[in-house]
Amino acid sequence: DTAVSQTPKYLVTQMGNDKSIKCEQNLGHDTMYWYKQDSKKFLKIMFSYNNKELIINETVPNRFSPKSPDKAHLNLHINSLELGDSAVYFCASSQDNHNTDTQYFGPGTRLTVL
């Protein structure tokens, strides 16, 4: 069974479109994250939710809106996509939001904006 799953795995779209990426974890964790990994492999945290509540919101354009319908799901909606949004987006989860918790990453969604 996949612990952290994301859909879709690949996403190719035109500039200006709106798209969503979905994430689900079956580990019973309370905290979920979205990371962006650019072409240089930098991993940058974007958002973190703990029990459906937003706890980390880094300097991310407000075109990005996370939504957590329940603690097992954290979706990412992106409006008006731009070329610079092209990256691999990783969802992750951890038991809680303590800084000693291990993070479990999903397989990633490779977003290409044309």
Partner 1 sequence: GQQVMQIPQYQHVQEGEDFTTYCNSSTTLSNIQWYKQRPGGHPVFLIQLVKSGEVKKQKRLTFQFGEAKKNSSLHITATQTTDVGTYFCAGSKYNFNKFYFGSGTKLNVKP
Place of tokens 């580990």: 27
Q: Which is nearer to partner 1, 64 or 90 (CB)?
A: 90
Q: Which is nearer to partner 1, 15 or 55 (CB)?
A: 55
Q: How far is CA 85 from the centre of its chain?
A: 13
Contacts to partner 1 from residues 65-84, by CB under 8 A: none
Does 104 interact with partner 1 (rule: CB under 8 A)? yes
Residues with Cβ within 8 Å of residue 44, at least 6 apart in sequence: 35, 36, 37, 38, 58
Does 57 interact with partner 1 (rule: CB under 8 A)? no
CA distance 91 to 34: 5
Site string for partner 1, 25-54 (x = CB under 8 A): ---------------xxxxxx--x------
Place of tokens 């000693």: 100
Q: Which is nearer to partner 1, 13 or 103 (CB)?
A: 103
Least distance in angstroms from the C-beta of 13 to partner 1: 21
The DSSP bridge pattern shows strands 53-57 and 73-78 to be unpaired
